Amino acid sequence: MSNTAPALDAEAITTKERGQWEMVVRRFFRHRAAVISLVVFVIIVLFAYLGPFVWKWDYKIHSEIPSWAAPSLDHPFGTDKAGRDMLGAMMQATKQSLNVALTVAIGSTVIGALYGAVAGFYRGWVDAVLMRILDVMFVIPFLVITGALAGAIDTSVRWYHMAFILAIFGWTSIARAVRAEVLSLREKEFVEAAKSVGGSDWHIIVKHLIPNTMSVIIVSVTLQIAFAILSETTLSFLGLGIQSPDTSLGLLIEAAGASAFNEHWYLFYIPGLMIILIALTINFIGDGLRDAMDPRQTMVRR
Protein backbone atom coordinates (compact mmCIF):
# COMPACT_ATOMS: atom_id res chain seq x y z
CA MET A 1 0.00 0.00 0.00
CA SER A 2 2.82 2.38 0.86
CA ASN A 3 4.30 1.91 -2.62
CA THR A 4 0.97 2.39 -4.37
CA ALA A 5 0.03 5.70 -2.75
CA PRO A 6 3.02 7.71 -4.04
CA ALA A 7 2.47 6.31 -7.52
CA LEU A 8 -1.16 7.34 -7.43
CA ASP A 9 -0.20 10.78 -6.09
CA ALA A 10 2.34 11.27 -8.89
CA GLU A 11 -0.21 10.17 -11.46
CA ALA A 12 -2.78 12.56 -10.02
CA ILE A 13 -0.32 15.44 -10.12
CA THR A 14 0.64 14.64 -13.72
CA THR A 15 -3.03 14.47 -14.72
CA LYS A 16 -3.72 17.77 -12.97
CA GLU A 17 -0.79 19.47 -14.73
CA ARG A 18 -1.90 18.06 -18.07
CA GLY A 19 -5.41 19.35 -17.45
CA GLN A 20 -4.10 22.81 -16.59
CA TRP A 21 -2.06 23.03 -19.80
CA GLU A 22 -5.02 21.81 -21.83
CA MET A 23 -7.07 24.63 -20.33
CA VAL A 24 -4.33 27.11 -21.24
CA VAL A 25 -4.32 25.88 -24.83
CA ARG A 26 -8.11 26.09 -25.06
CA ARG A 27 -8.13 29.63 -23.64
CA PHE A 28 -5.42 30.69 -26.06
CA PHE A 29 -7.28 29.35 -29.10
CA ARG A 30 -10.39 31.27 -28.01
CA HIS A 31 -8.34 34.48 -28.30
CA ARG A 32 -9.02 35.31 -31.95
CA ALA A 33 -6.44 38.06 -32.33
CA ALA A 34 -3.74 35.84 -30.82
CA VAL A 35 -4.60 32.88 -33.04
CA ILE A 36 -4.66 35.01 -36.20
CA SER A 37 -1.36 36.58 -35.15
CA LEU A 38 0.15 33.14 -34.55
CA VAL A 39 -0.85 32.04 -38.05
CA VAL A 40 0.60 35.23 -39.56
CA PHE A 41 3.83 34.84 -37.58
CA VAL A 42 4.22 31.23 -38.76
CA ILE A 43 3.76 32.44 -42.37
CA ILE A 44 6.47 35.07 -41.79
CA VAL A 45 8.83 32.42 -40.40
CA LEU A 46 8.18 30.16 -43.40
CA PHE A 47 8.72 33.12 -45.74
CA ALA A 48 12.07 33.88 -44.13
CA TYR A 49 13.49 30.39 -43.69
CA LEU A 50 11.93 28.37 -46.53
CA GLY A 51 11.38 31.13 -49.07
CA PRO A 52 15.03 31.29 -50.22
CA PHE A 53 14.85 27.61 -51.22
CA VAL A 54 11.96 28.17 -53.64
CA TRP A 55 12.63 31.71 -54.91
CA LYS A 56 15.01 31.99 -57.87
CA TRP A 57 16.92 35.07 -56.65
CA ASP A 58 18.91 35.45 -53.45
CA TYR A 59 19.75 38.69 -51.64
CA LYS A 60 23.02 39.26 -53.50
CA ILE A 61 23.71 41.51 -56.47
CA HIS A 62 23.38 39.87 -59.89
CA SER A 63 24.54 41.45 -63.14
CA GLU A 64 21.51 40.13 -65.04
CA ILE A 65 19.05 41.90 -62.70
CA PRO A 66 18.18 45.46 -63.86
CA SER A 67 18.50 48.28 -61.35
CA TRP A 68 15.51 50.31 -60.16
CA ALA A 69 13.02 47.82 -61.66
CA ALA A 70 9.45 48.40 -60.56
CA PRO A 71 7.51 45.54 -58.90
CA SER A 72 6.63 42.85 -61.45
CA LEU A 73 6.08 39.11 -61.70
CA ASP A 74 9.83 38.56 -62.00
CA HIS A 75 10.59 40.89 -59.09
CA PRO A 76 7.44 41.31 -56.93
CA PHE A 77 9.14 43.82 -54.59
CA GLY A 78 11.17 45.49 -57.33
CA THR A 79 14.94 45.90 -57.41
CA ASP A 80 17.29 48.45 -55.90
CA LYS A 81 19.95 50.67 -57.40
CA ALA A 82 22.60 47.94 -57.28
CA GLY A 83 20.44 45.43 -59.13
CA ARG A 84 19.34 43.30 -56.21
CA ASP A 85 16.01 41.48 -56.12
CA MET A 86 14.18 42.92 -53.14
CA LEU A 87 12.02 39.87 -52.51
CA GLY A 88 15.16 37.78 -52.04
CA ALA A 89 16.63 40.57 -49.92
CA MET A 90 13.46 40.70 -47.80
CA MET A 91 13.66 36.96 -47.15
CA GLN A 92 17.27 37.20 -46.01
CA ALA A 93 16.67 40.38 -44.01
CA THR A 94 13.64 38.92 -42.25
CA LYS A 95 15.57 35.73 -41.47
CA GLN A 96 18.50 37.62 -39.97
CA SER A 97 16.24 39.89 -37.92
CA LEU A 98 14.35 36.83 -36.64
CA ASN A 99 17.67 35.12 -35.88
CA VAL A 100 18.56 38.08 -33.70
CA ALA A 101 15.13 38.22 -32.06
CA LEU A 102 14.85 34.51 -31.25
CA THR A 103 18.43 34.28 -29.98
CA VAL A 104 17.98 37.35 -27.79
CA ALA A 105 14.67 36.01 -26.46
CA ILE A 106 16.21 32.67 -25.47
CA GLY A 107 19.48 34.10 -24.12
CA SER A 108 17.97 36.96 -22.14
CA THR A 109 15.25 34.69 -20.75
CA VAL A 110 17.79 32.17 -19.44
CA ILE A 111 19.92 34.90 -17.88
CA GLY A 112 16.95 36.83 -16.46
CA ALA A 113 15.16 33.75 -15.09
CA LEU A 114 18.24 32.47 -13.26
CA TYR A 115 19.16 35.92 -11.97
CA GLY A 116 15.66 36.68 -10.72
CA ALA A 117 15.20 33.24 -9.19
CA VAL A 118 18.47 33.49 -7.24
CA ALA A 119 17.58 36.97 -5.99
CA GLY A 120 14.08 35.93 -4.91
CA PHE A 121 15.15 32.65 -3.32
CA TYR A 122 17.97 33.96 -1.12
CA ARG A 123 16.50 37.38 -0.30
CA GLY A 124 18.47 39.34 2.32
CA TRP A 125 21.80 40.84 1.29
CA VAL A 126 22.02 38.67 -1.85
CA ASP A 127 18.73 40.06 -3.10
CA ALA A 128 19.75 43.61 -2.15
CA VAL A 129 23.05 43.42 -4.05
CA LEU A 130 21.52 41.81 -7.13
CA MET A 131 18.69 44.35 -7.23
CA ARG A 132 21.12 47.29 -6.97
CA ILE A 133 23.02 45.86 -9.94
CA LEU A 134 19.71 45.59 -11.75
CA ASP A 135 18.91 49.22 -10.94
CA VAL A 136 22.22 50.28 -12.48
CA MET A 137 21.43 48.25 -15.60
CA PHE A 138 18.10 50.03 -15.91
CA VAL A 139 19.60 53.53 -15.91
CA ILE A 140 22.28 52.78 -18.52
CA PRO A 141 21.21 54.37 -21.85
CA PHE A 142 20.40 51.23 -23.79
CA LEU A 143 20.91 52.43 -27.36
CA VAL A 144 24.10 54.29 -26.44
CA ILE A 145 25.83 51.35 -24.81
CA THR A 146 24.69 48.73 -27.33
CA GLY A 147 25.62 51.02 -30.21
CA ALA A 148 29.05 51.63 -28.68
CA LEU A 149 29.66 47.89 -28.27
CA ALA A 150 28.58 47.21 -31.85
CA GLY A 151 30.85 50.00 -33.08
CA ALA A 152 33.79 48.48 -31.18
CA ILE A 153 33.64 45.29 -33.26
CA ASP A 154 36.54 45.35 -35.73
CA THR A 155 34.83 43.30 -38.44
CA SER A 156 31.43 43.88 -39.99
CA VAL A 157 28.66 43.37 -37.44
CA ARG A 158 26.85 40.10 -38.08
CA TRP A 159 23.52 38.98 -36.66
CA TYR A 160 25.16 36.89 -33.92
CA HIS A 161 27.19 39.92 -32.75
CA MET A 162 23.97 41.90 -32.51
CA ALA A 163 22.15 39.08 -30.70
CA PHE A 164 24.92 38.75 -28.13
CA ILE A 165 25.00 42.48 -27.41
CA LEU A 166 21.23 42.77 -27.07
CA ALA A 167 20.99 39.67 -24.87
CA ILE A 168 23.54 41.14 -22.44
CA PHE A 169 21.26 44.10 -21.74
CA GLY A 170 17.83 42.63 -22.51
CA TRP A 171 17.24 40.39 -19.48
CA THR A 172 16.49 42.94 -16.76
CA SER A 173 12.69 43.03 -17.05
CA ILE A 174 12.50 39.21 -17.01
CA ALA A 175 14.68 39.11 -13.90
CA ARG A 176 12.32 41.45 -12.05
CA ALA A 177 9.24 39.46 -13.09
CA VAL A 178 10.73 36.09 -12.09
CA ARG A 179 12.02 37.48 -8.79
CA ALA A 180 8.54 38.70 -7.87
CA GLU A 181 7.09 35.24 -8.57
CA VAL A 182 9.84 33.42 -6.65
CA LEU A 183 9.39 35.64 -3.59
CA SER A 184 5.87 34.26 -3.24
CA LEU A 185 6.72 30.70 -4.26
CA ARG A 186 9.65 30.20 -1.87
CA GLU A 187 7.28 29.92 1.11
CA LYS A 188 5.13 27.23 -0.51
CA GLU A 189 4.93 23.71 0.89
CA PHE A 190 6.61 22.07 -2.11
CA VAL A 191 9.76 24.15 -1.50
CA GLU A 192 9.82 23.16 2.17
CA ALA A 193 9.30 19.53 1.16
CA ALA A 194 12.24 19.72 -1.26
CA LYS A 195 14.44 21.15 1.51
CA SER A 196 13.35 18.46 3.98
CA VAL A 197 14.53 15.67 1.68
CA GLY A 198 17.95 17.28 1.24
CA GLY A 199 17.45 19.16 -2.00
CA SER A 200 20.22 21.67 -2.68
CA ASP A 201 19.47 25.33 -3.27
CA TRP A 202 20.39 25.01 -6.95
CA HIS A 203 18.18 21.93 -7.32
CA ILE A 204 15.23 23.78 -5.76
CA ILE A 205 15.74 26.83 -7.95
CA VAL A 206 16.12 24.93 -11.22
CA LYS A 207 13.74 22.01 -10.66
CA HIS A 208 10.99 23.61 -8.60
CA LEU A 209 10.95 27.41 -8.62
CA ILE A 210 11.76 28.28 -12.25
CA PRO A 211 9.30 25.69 -13.69
CA ASN A 212 6.58 27.24 -11.55
CA THR A 213 7.24 30.65 -13.09
CA MET A 214 6.80 29.38 -16.66
CA SER A 215 3.67 31.46 -17.27
CA VAL A 216 5.66 34.64 -16.60
CA ILE A 217 8.64 33.38 -18.59
CA ILE A 218 6.65 32.34 -21.67
CA VAL A 219 4.92 35.72 -21.90
CA SER A 220 8.27 37.46 -21.37
CA VAL A 221 9.79 35.52 -24.27
CA THR A 222 7.20 36.96 -26.68
CA LEU A 223 7.89 40.47 -25.41
CA GLN A 224 11.63 39.92 -25.80
CA ILE A 225 11.16 38.95 -29.45
CA ALA A 226 9.38 42.23 -30.16
CA PHE A 227 11.99 44.14 -28.13
CA ALA A 228 14.87 42.55 -30.06
CA ILE A 229 13.29 43.15 -33.47
CA LEU A 230 12.72 46.84 -32.76
CA SER A 231 16.15 47.29 -31.13
CA GLU A 232 17.99 45.62 -34.00
CA THR A 233 16.03 47.69 -36.50
CA THR A 234 16.82 50.94 -34.71
CA LEU A 235 20.54 50.19 -34.40
CA SER A 236 20.83 49.02 -38.01
CA PHE A 237 18.95 52.09 -39.21
CA LEU A 238 21.45 54.26 -37.30
CA GLY A 239 24.34 52.37 -38.90
CA LEU A 240 25.30 50.69 -35.62
CA GLY A 241 23.73 47.28 -36.21
CA ILE A 242 24.11 44.54 -38.81
CA GLN A 243 26.27 45.68 -41.70
CA SER A 244 26.86 44.72 -45.33
CA PRO A 245 27.49 42.20 -46.85
CA ASP A 246 24.92 40.81 -44.41
CA THR A 247 21.49 42.39 -44.27
CA SER A 248 18.50 42.94 -41.97
CA LEU A 249 15.18 44.76 -42.04
CA GLY A 250 16.72 47.80 -40.37
CA LEU A 251 19.57 47.85 -42.86
CA LEU A 252 17.15 47.68 -45.80
CA ILE A 253 15.26 50.69 -44.41
CA GLU A 254 18.50 52.60 -43.86
CA ALA A 255 19.67 51.84 -47.43
CA ALA A 256 16.33 52.97 -48.90
CA GLY A 257 15.96 56.09 -46.77
CA ALA A 258 16.36 58.41 -49.76
CA SER A 259 13.62 56.53 -51.65
CA ALA A 260 10.87 57.09 -49.08
CA PHE A 261 9.25 59.92 -51.04
CA ASN A 262 10.10 59.16 -54.65
CA GLU A 263 8.97 56.61 -57.22
CA HIS A 264 10.93 53.85 -55.45
CA TRP A 265 9.01 54.28 -52.18
CA TYR A 266 8.32 50.53 -51.92
CA LEU A 267 11.99 49.89 -51.12
CA PHE A 268 11.52 51.83 -47.88
CA TYR A 269 8.00 50.92 -46.83
CA ILE A 270 7.93 47.16 -47.48
CA PRO A 271 10.65 46.40 -44.85
CA GLY A 272 8.95 48.87 -42.52
CA LEU A 273 5.61 47.09 -42.88
CA MET A 274 7.30 43.76 -42.16
CA ILE A 275 8.77 45.13 -38.92
CA ILE A 276 5.38 46.48 -37.85
CA LEU A 277 3.71 43.19 -38.74
CA ILE A 278 6.19 41.13 -36.71
CA ALA A 279 5.94 43.44 -33.70
CA LEU A 280 2.11 43.47 -33.76
CA THR A 281 1.75 39.71 -34.16
CA ILE A 282 4.20 39.02 -31.33
CA ASN A 283 2.38 41.47 -29.04
CA PHE A 284 -1.01 39.89 -29.78
CA ILE A 285 0.44 36.42 -29.19
CA GLY A 286 1.82 37.65 -25.88
CA ASP A 287 -1.59 39.07 -24.93
CA GLY A 288 -3.23 35.74 -25.76
CA LEU A 289 -0.70 33.79 -23.70
CA ARG A 290 -1.08 36.14 -20.73
CA ASP A 291 -4.87 35.86 -20.80
CA ALA A 292 -4.70 32.07 -21.20
CA MET A 293 -2.28 31.54 -18.34
CA ASP A 294 -3.90 33.95 -15.91
CA PRO A 295 -7.63 33.22 -15.43
CA ARG A 296 -7.98 36.56 -13.63
CA GLN A 297 -7.28 38.40 -16.87
CA THR A 298 -10.21 39.63 -18.92
CA MET A 299 -10.91 36.84 -21.31
CA VAL A 300 -11.21 36.85 -25.04
CA ARG A 301 -13.31 39.25 -27.03
CA ARG A 302 -15.51 36.96 -29.05
Over the stretch 80-111, which tens digit does the pLDDT of each residue have?
888 888 999 999 999 999 999 999 999 999 99
Contact in structure between 159 and 242 (CB atoms under 8 Å): yes
Helices (H), 123-265: 124-139, 142-151, 159-169, 172-185, 189-196, 201-204, 214-237, 249-255
pTM higher than the cut 0.95: no
pLDDT at residue number 8: 42
pLDDT at residue number 154: 61
Give me the chain's average pLDDT, please. 83
| Cα–Cα distance, 252 to 229 (Å, whole number) | 14
| Cα–Cα distance, 182 to 43 (Å, whole number) | 36
Mean pLDDT of 264-281: 92
Mean pLDDT of 257-271: 86
pLDDT at residue number 59: 79
Domains, the chain, ranges and CATH?
Answer: 31-60+75-293 (1.10.3720.10)
Mean pLDDT of 141-163: 78
For the segment 37-64, what is each residue's pLDDT rounded down to a tens digit? 999 999 999 999 999 999 888 877 677 8
Write the secondary structure of 284-299 as one string of H (helix), E (strand) and C (coil): HHHHHHHHHHCCCCCC
Looking at the chain, the whole-number percentage of residues with pLDDT higher than 90 is 29
Residue 76 has pLDDT above 50, yes or no: yes
Distances in Å between the Cα of 228 and the Cα atoms of 37, 101, 112, 152 are 18, 5, 15, 20
Mean pLDDT of 15-22: 63
Residue 12 has pLDDT above 50, yes or no: no
pLDDT at residue number 280: 93
For the segment 236-248, what is each residue's pLDDT rounded down to a tens digit? 888 788 887 788 8
Contact in structure between 235 and 150 (CB atoms under 8 Å): yes
Of 34-38, 209-213, 281-285, give the lowest mean pLDDT range: 209-213
- Give the model's confidence band at 200: pLDDT under 50 very low, under 70 low, under 90 confident, else very high: confident
pLDDT at residue number 44: 96
| Cα–Cα distance, 271 to 252 (Å, whole number) | 7
Query: How many other C-beta atoms can be found within 10 angstroms of the C-beta atom of residue 245?
Result: 9
Rank 33-47, 117-131, 194-208 by mean pLDDT and report only the highest.
33-47
